[in-house]
Amino acid sequence: MHGELAELIALASYGSVFLADPAAEPPELFPTASVFRFTNAVEFRRHTRRFGLSPSETVVARSCAPWFSDLRRRGAAALHLTRSSTVPRNRELDPHLEAGFSGGLDVGVAARFTDGSQELWTGRWAVTMPKHPKQLIWSVQFTGVALHRASHDGTVLNVAAQRLGRALDDVSEYAESSQLAYWRSVFQRARAQLTAETPEIPYHADMLPPNGYSLDARRLVAAASTAWVFGGMGSWNDIADGDAERYRAVTVELFESVLEAILAGTNSSAPRT
For 96-148, the pLDDT digits (tens) are 878 878 888 899 999 999 999 999 999 999 999 999 999 999 999 999 998 88
Q: Which of 98, 121, 146 is the last residue of a domain?
A: 146
Q: Are residues 203 and 135 both part of a single domain? A: no
Give the confidence band of 273 by pLDDT, cuts at 50, 70, 90.
very low
Residues 52 and 179 grouped into a single domain = no
Residue 70 counted as domain residue: yes
CATH of the domain at 32: 3.10.450
Domain co-membership, 38 together with 109: yes
Q: Residue 82: which H helix or E strand, with range? A: strand 76-83
**Verdict on whether the full-model pTM lies above 0.75:** yes
Domain count, the chain: 2
Does residue 54 have a pLDDT over 90?
no
Distance separating alpha carbons of residues 74 and 87, to the nearest angstrom: 23
In the chain, the percentage of residues whose pLDDT exceeds 70 is: 93
97 residue type, one letter: L
Q: In what order do the strands lie in the sheet with 107-113?
A: 56-61, 39-48, 138-146, 118-127, 107-113, 76-83
Residue 151 lies in a domain: no
State whether 48 and 124 are in the same domain. Answer: yes
Judge if 113 and 50 occupy the same domain. yes
DSSP letter for 55, please.
P
- Quick: pLDDT tens for 188-219: 999 999 999 999 999 899 999 999 999 999 99
* Co-location of 7 and 139 in the same domain: yes
The reply to whether 128 and 8 lie within a common domain is yes
Instruction: Kindly state whether residues 78 and 200 are assigned to the same domain.
Output: no
Query: Which of 113, 146, 179 is the C-terminal boundary of a domain?
Result: 146
What is the per-residue burial (b if ≥16 Cβ within 10 Å, else e) of 227-242?
bbbbeeeeebbebeee
Task: Tell which residue, 220, 221, 192, 194, has the closest CA to residue 206.
Answer: 221
* pLDDT computed for residue 215 by the predictor: 95
Look at residues 146, 168, 198 and tell me which one is the last residue of a structural domain: 146
Clarify whether residues 197 and 87 are in a common domain.
Answer: no
168 has pLDDT over 50: yes
Cα–Cα dist 262/197, whole Å: 19
What does R_g of the chain's alpha carbons equal in angstroms? Answer: 19
- Are residues 182 and 69 located together in one domain of the fold? no
Task: For residue 172, give its domain range.
Answer: 157-267
Same domain, 209 and 114: no
Averaged pLDDT score across all residues of the chain: 90
